[in-house]
């Protein structure tokens, strides 16, 4: 058992160092992977841990097929630099873009409906440059592309959402973990606010329910929680480097609830302390109880 | 010569328009282009700012160059460079001019305007931008013409997009996105007063149908100033004996310089367009360097000179005897851009060119109506409901030609208070309506948030207890950027709003006592 475990993680680590695909394909087809709920990778290089964590989940091939149009939704809502941890780490985003193309994605789109000026958010977050360099199509949100969608949720009956999300073959959510004044913490489920059109500021009146409604409606193929740097106070935009904690961690999974619940532990909290996680668990979107999850931890 | 001149005019107009369009954030801290360079070249702005504020912009030597060129070559700026002059030229050409130009003696008016402006600026009133052609052009384009252009183009493409007859969108969308990348602004700009400023501008252009380059001949104060310099220029026009006094030159003269009256050619009015040279059937006209005095003398009339001077002087108290000149009466909503000088000093420098409004990322900088008094009309005011001051943006200070808005580093900028936010408890959701809302706190950009919460359990109508966080403003931390006002869900009249009190630039407009 021990030995097998070791070989596997060694293979994963090696995959991180850009071993040709055929080898890690070999491993996965050989059934070397057991089903994992969450992969948590730790290490100094954001891109390497991202790759390692995705590989630990079975590799990008498991999620993205040849010819897919993929939407990647990072959090780049704020006019802040990567050190300030208000937006998703640009290296993490770029690495995911690359991996999508490696397995044959046709097109990878990256966008966010920002809170601060979009031009500044895209540039200052470092995401636009990094994602473009990796080949992604980075565009500003086009207000005309929001369509009223029947969400039929508890708090939100219908809302204009960004059509690109629904026209894509696959959606990858890449939030950053950080503090928030109302939600307490924001991670993957809150990140869907970035595809909402209209006057989304109203949803704060029933934030937790609204986030769950959205998360039921938008089903991402993969969720990658960026915890390379986390913001422990004065979120969601921070600005003071003293509020930033470097964790050098990336968490990958399919279950949004599980991810957010696990994410809470990074802040010394429990998933059950977050209203939206609790509601989501009750409504059966995912699993809040992380003791029930199979979590693989890797260091790169 | 005519073609050469047209090419030069075309090139400068294109440069001007290009720089105008580039006066827009690309997301980086700098614009990357010297977008205000035409204003830097303007000796009229330099002169009035030096007179009114005793201050010269760092790039003032550029306008010295422009003045120097005029001293050598005459008003070539007007004939060959000035973008407004070129536009006037273009509009003039819409009409066929048959009869010889009307011979009006109104050319003096522009000197009176100039004298008025200079006199008032000596007494610290800066009104030049209202009539300075470069300021006028940039302001009209920024606040009116360009928004109009954007609106129409967007409307066309939006309606194509929404109707999508036979997949025409496949064709129109690439065109639209190419336009968005080049000619269109990032988002549709909106300005108060855009109609008024636009009408004034169209009026100026329309005058060209009354007479060729009407504005340049009769009204332009910069033209007048350059005309004065032109008297000393050594490039002069001369007419040889061959002249048959046929009047062909008078028909084509752009400046009303009396080219047909041999000895009465007015060097101050000549735009050096070389039209007379081209038109002369006898080839009698030539331009050359000479020290000889060939031109008519200029007589403005002592009485009128004194009148316009006096008017300029009287304008100063006239525009200032309103309560706004008392610090206690400062308009609550007069929020100036970050880095703005203290109000009096600010007014001495701001030329109302609108560069700051054009560059403002959020469209929040707007031309004032009377919030700053008549004296400050069209100077910038931040209207947070329209757009807030982006925390890490320093662009307005970078483009202001006169230093009315100081150029700030990012570190300086984030410390500047432009006002303070106050909460209207009667409208705020958690206070007045027992509903959770934290939007203002969420968007507050200061590293330690200037908006904090008082946690409270309140009751709704049915007596059910509701947990809310009631926002409070930390007056020390608040910088007045207005993002809370801009994003407050109570949109019509936001439950949190910014007023100018506490602005760093003012010693009087204070609230907190710990500054004493
Ligand atoms: S403050 Fe604005 S309008 Fe006034 S001179 Fe500066 S840029 Fe022009
Ligand atoms: S955003 Fe407006 S309504 Fe909401 S808490 Fe702040 S002031 Fe009140």
The domains of chain B are located at 233-297, 420-499
Q: What is the mean pLDDT of residues B466-493?
A: 96
- Give the other-Cβ count within 10 Å of A170's Cβ: 18
Q: What is the DSSP letter of A80?
A: -
CA–centroid distance, residue B280 to ligand 2 (Å) = 73
d(CA A278, CA A269): 13
Could you tell me the pLDDT band of residue A110, with boundaries at 50, 70 and 90?
Answer: very high
CB contact under 8 A, B25 and A117: yes
Q: Given this model, what pLDDT does residue A16 score?
A: 41
Mutation to test the A interface, candidates B31, B439, B477, B484, most A Cβ within 10 Å:
B439
Q: What is the mean pLDDT of residues B138-160?
A: 96
Nearest Cα residue to A239 out of B337, B353, B445: B445
CB contact under 8 A, A201 and B435: no
Q: What is the mean pLDDT of residues A146-151?
A: 95
In percent, the amount of chain B with pLDDT more than 90 equals 63
Could you tell me the pLDDT band of residue A256, with boundaries at 50, 70 and 90?
Answer: very high
Q: How many domains does chain A have?
A: 1
Q: What is the mean pLDDT of residues B86-103?
A: 78
Q: What is the mean pLDDT of residues B16-23?
A: 97
Could you tell me the pLDDT band of residue A20, with boundaries at 50, 70 and 90?
Answer: very low
Q: Given this model, what pLDDT does residue B84 score?
A: 96
Of residues A106 and B56, more confidently modeled: A106
Q: Which positions in chain A have a beta carbon within 8 angstroms of at least one beta carbon in chain B?
A: 79, 115-124, 128, 144, 180-182, 199, 201-202, 204-207, 234, 236-240, 243
Q: What is the mean pLDDT of residues B138-161?
A: 96
Nearby residues of B199 by Cβ (< 8 Å), 6 or more positions away: none
CB contact under 8 A, B390 and A116: yes
Strands A295-299 and A38-42: parallel
B379 lines ligand 1 (CB under 6 A): yes
Mutation to test the B interface, candidates A87, A113, A116, most B Cβ within 10 Å:
A116
Number of H helices, E strands in chain B: 24, 8
Supply the range of the domain harboring residue A45. Answer: 3-299
CB B143 within 8 Å of CB B357: yes
Nearest Cα residue to B110 out of B252, B213, B28, B191: B213
Q: Given this model, what pLDDT does residue A17 score?
A: 42
Q: Given this model, what pLDDT does residue B296 score?
A: 62
pTM comes to 0.90
Q: What is the mean pLDDT of residues B329-347?
A: 94
Task: Give the CATH number for residue A211.
Answer: 3.40.50
Nearby residues of B164 by Cβ (< 8 Å), 6 or more positions away: none
On the question of pLDDT at A294 being above 90, the answer is yes
Q: Which tokens hold the place of B176?
A: 């639209």
Could you tell me the pLDDT band of residue B98, with boundaries at 50, 70 and 90?
Answer: low
CB contact under 8 A, A243 and B453: no
B439 lines ligand 2 (CB under 6 A): yes
| Nearest ligand, measured from the Cα of B485 | 2
In A, which residues are within 8 Å of B441 by CB distance? 181
Residues B349-364: tens digit of each pLDDT: 999 999 999 999 999 9
Q: Given this model, what pLDDT does residue B339 score?
A: 97
d(CA B32, CA A148): 40
Q: Which of B428, B438, B454, B468 to mutate to test the pocket of ligand 2 (most atoms within 8 A of CB)?
A: B428
Could you tell me the pLDDT band of residue A11, with boundaries at 50, 70 and 90?
Answer: very low
Residues B119-138: tens digit of each pLDDT: 898 888 899 999 999 999 99
Residues A186-232: tens digit of each pLDDT: 999 999 999 999 999 999 999 999 999 999 999 999 999 999 999 99
CB B429 within 8 Å of CB B490: yes
On the question of pLDDT at A5 being above 70, the answer is no
d(CA B346, CA A238): 33
Q: What topology is assigned to B233-297 in CATH? A: Alpha-Beta Plaits (3.30.70)
Nearest C-alpha in B relative to A233: B448
Angle between helices B221-230 and B43-53 (to 10 degrees): 100
Mean pLDDT of chain B: 90
Q: Which tokens hold the place of A66?
A: 């040849």
Does residue A270 come out as left (phi exceeding 0), alpha (psi in the -120 to 50 range) or beta? beta
Q: Given this model, what pLDDT does residue B244 score?
A: 77
Tell whether the torsion through CA atoms of A230, A235, A240 and A243 is positive or negative.
negative
Q: What is the mean pLDDT of residues B433-451?
A: 96
Alpha helices (runs of H) in B145-187, residue ranges in sequence order: 146-163, 169-182
Q: What is the ipTM of this complex?
A: 0.91
Nearest Cα residue to B381 out of B124, B511, B141, B191: B191
DSSP string, B294-312: -SPP----HHHHHHHHHHH
Q: Given this model, what pLDDT does residue A27 score?
A: 45
Q: Which tokens hold the place of B62?
A: 């550029």
Q: Measure in Å the smallest separation between the Cα of A84 and chain B Cα atoms.
A: 10
| Nearest ligand, measured from the Cα of B367 | 1
Strands B496-499 and B420-423: antiparallel
Q: Given this model, what pLDDT does residue B306 score?
A: 87
On the question of pLDDT at B225 being above 60, the answer is yes
In percent, the amount of chain B with pLDDT more than 70 equals 96
d(CA A146, CA A200): 12
Q: Given this model, what pLDDT does residue B281 score?
A: 80
d(CA A169, CA A17): 28
Of residues B256 and B227, more confidently modeled: B227
Could you tell me the pLDDT band of residue B100, with boundaries at 50, 70 and 90?
Answer: low
Q: Given this model, what pLDDT does residue B280 score?
A: 81
On the question of pLDDT at A93 being above 70, the answer is yes
Span between the terminal Cα atoms of chain A, in Å:
21
On the question of pLDDT at B514 being above 80, the answer is no
d(CA A209, CA A156): 8
On the question of pLDDT at B81 being above 60, the answer is yes
Nearby residues of A130 by Cβ (< 8 Å), 6 or more positions away: A90, A91, A93, A94
CB A172 within 8 Å of CB A223: yes
Whether chain A has a CB inside 8 Å of the CB on B479: the answer is no
Return the residue matching tokens 């939006």. Answer: B158
The lowest-confidence range among A94-108, B109-123, B171-185, B330-344 is B109-123
Q: What is the mean pLDDT of residues B393-419?
A: 96
On the question of pLDDT at B75 being above 70, the answer is yes
Q: Is A231 helix (H, G, I), strand (E, B) or coil?
A: strand
Q: Measure in Å the smallest separation between the Cα of A100 and chain B Cα atoms.
A: 26
Q: What is the mean pLDDT of residues A176-194?
A: 96
Could you tell me the pLDDT band of residue B293, with boundaries at 50, 70 and 90?
Answer: low
The lowest-confidence range among A185-194, B313-322, B490-499 is B313-322
Mean pLDDT of chain A: 90
């Amino acid at each position: 058992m021990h030995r097998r475990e070791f070989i596997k993680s060694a293979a994963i680590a090696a995959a991180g160092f850009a071993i040709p695909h055929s080898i890690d394909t070999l491993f996965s087809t050989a059934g070397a992977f057991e089903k994992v709920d969450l992969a948590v990778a730790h290490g100094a290089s954001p891109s390497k841990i991202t790759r390692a964590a995705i590989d630990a989940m079975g590799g990008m091939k498991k999620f993205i097929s040849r010819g897919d149009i993929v939407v990647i939704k990072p959090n780049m809502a704020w006019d802040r630099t990567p050190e300030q941890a208000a937006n998703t780490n640009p290296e993490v985003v770029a690495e995911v873009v690359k991996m999508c193309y490696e397995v044959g994605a046709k097109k990878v789109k990256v966008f966010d409906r920002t809170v601060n000026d979009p031009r500044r958010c895209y540039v200052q977050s470092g995401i636009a440059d990094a994602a473009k360099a990796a080949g992604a199509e980075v565009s500003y949100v086009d207000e005309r592309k929001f369509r009223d969608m029947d969400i039929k949720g508890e708090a939100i009956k219908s809302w204009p959402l960004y059509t690109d999300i629904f026209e894509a073959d696959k959606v990858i959510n890449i939030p950053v973990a950080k503090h928030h004044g109302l939600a307490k913490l924001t991670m993957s489920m809150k990140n869907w606010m970035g595809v909402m059109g209209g006057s989304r500021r109203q949803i704060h009146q029933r934030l937790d329910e609204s986030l769950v409604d959205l998360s039921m409606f938008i089903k991402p193929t993969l969720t990658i929680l960026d915890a390379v740097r986390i913001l422990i106070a004065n979120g969601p935009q921070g600005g003071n480097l003293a509020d930033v904690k470097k964790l050098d961690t990336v968490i990958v999974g399919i279950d949004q609830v599980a991810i957010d619940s696990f994410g809470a532990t990074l802040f010394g909290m429990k998933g059950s302390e977050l209203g939206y996680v609790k509601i989501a668990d009750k409504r059966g979107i995912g699993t809040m109880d992380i003791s029930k999850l199979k979590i693989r931890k890797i260091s790169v | 010569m005519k073609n050469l001149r047209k090419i030069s005019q075309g090139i400068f107009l294109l440069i001007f328009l290009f720089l105008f369009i580039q006066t827009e954030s690309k997301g980086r801290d700098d614009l990357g282009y010297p977008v205000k360079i035409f204003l830097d070249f303007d000796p009229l702005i330099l002169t009035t700012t030096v007179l009114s504020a005793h201050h010269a912009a760092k790039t003032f030597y550029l306008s010295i160059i422009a003045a120097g060129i005029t001293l050598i070559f005459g008003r070539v700026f007007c004939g060959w460079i000035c973008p407004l002059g070129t536009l006037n030229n273009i509009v003039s050409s819409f009409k066929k001019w048959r009869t010889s130009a009307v011979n009006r003696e109104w050319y003096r008016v522009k000197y009176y305007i100039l004298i008025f402006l200079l006199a008032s600026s000596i007494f610290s009133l800066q009104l030049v931008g209202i009539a300075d052609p470069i300021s006028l052009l940039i302001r009209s384009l920024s606040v009116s013409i360009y928004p109009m252009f954007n609106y129409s183009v967007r409307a066309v493409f939006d309606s194509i997009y929404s109707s999508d007859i036979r997949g025409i969108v496949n064709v129109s969308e690439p065109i639209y996105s190419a336009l968005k990348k080049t000619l269109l602004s990032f988002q549709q700009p909106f300005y108060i007063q855009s109609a008024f400023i636009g009408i004034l501008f169209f009026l100026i252009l329309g005058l060209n149908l009354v007479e060729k380059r009407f504005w340049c001949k009769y009204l332009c104060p910069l033209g007048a100033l350059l005309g004065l310099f032109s008297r000393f220029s050594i490039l002069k026009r001369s007419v040889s004996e061959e002249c048959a006094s046929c009047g062909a030159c008078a028909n084509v003269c752009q400046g009303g310089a009396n080219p047909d009256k041999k000895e009465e050619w007015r060097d101050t009015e000549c735009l050096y367009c070389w039209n007379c040279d081209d038109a002369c059937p006898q080839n009698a006209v030539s331009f050359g360097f000479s020290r000889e005095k060939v031109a008519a003398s200029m007589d403005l009339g002592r009485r009128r000179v004194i009148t316009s001077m006096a008017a300029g002087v009287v304008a100063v108290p006239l525009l200032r005897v309103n309560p706004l000149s008392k610090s206690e009466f400062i308009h609550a909503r007069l929020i100036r851009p970050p880095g703005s000088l203290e109000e009096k000093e600010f007014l001495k420098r701001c030329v109302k060119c609108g560069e700051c409004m054009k560059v403002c990322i959020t469209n929040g900088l707007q031309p004032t109506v009377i919030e700053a008094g008549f004296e400050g009309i069209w100077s910038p005011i931040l209207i947070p409901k329209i757009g807030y001051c982006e925390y890490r943006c320093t662009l307005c200070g970078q483009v202001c030609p006169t230093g009315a808005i100081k150029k700030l580093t990012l570190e300086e900028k984030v410390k500047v208070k432009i006002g303070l936010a106050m909460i209207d408890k009667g409208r705020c959701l958690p206070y007045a309506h027992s509903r959770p809302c934290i939007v203002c706190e969420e968007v507050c950009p200061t590293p330690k948030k200037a908006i904090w919460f008082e946690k409270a359990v309140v009751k709704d109508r049915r007596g059910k207890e509701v947990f809310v966080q009631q926002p409070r403003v930390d007056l020390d931390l608040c910088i007045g950027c207005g993002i809370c006002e801009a994003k407050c869900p109570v949109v019509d009249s936001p439950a949190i709003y910014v007023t100018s009190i506490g602005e760093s630039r003012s010693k009087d407009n204070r609230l907190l006592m710990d500054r004493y």
